[in-house]
Structure 1
């Protein structure tokens, strides 16, 4: 959509992956599964608003406190400083 493209800005290119193809978008597929297991359906919510209200806290915990085995037990926030293309 034009709104999404405008939100990305000029310096970010939107790339699409093949749907239902874990080989090409495995990280996103895994994140979506974790999102469902640990946040969306981890407890009973009385409304979508109640669920949405907990998302920011869950995402902070996921990025700053939850070790990820795929990056050697680090949390994603430990790796953010390395985004400008110097990823090793």
Structure 2
């Protein structure tokens, strides 16, 4: 047998912990401490990466929406100022 009874019991305790834990266990048993550490850290590293990517996406979206709000506000002010000047010029023409 590849594993003795003690290691089988240890493996049984991590069986439902996910593939990274199982890979880490196998790496630790068959000689790769650094590989075992890699497998243990992988889920956290991926979560960290995904959080950073999500935050960057949210920042880009908020930057785009704030710039479009500024564009909308400037467009609205230009329209309203043109409307005021057109109204005042038509009043002058009526007099």
The normalised TM-score by structure 2 is 0.23
Bigger RCO of structures 1 and 2 (CA < 8 A, at least 6 apart): 2
Using the size of structure 1 for normalisation, the TM-score is 0.24
Q: Greater share of helix residues, 1 or 2?
A: 2
Higher-Rg structure is 2
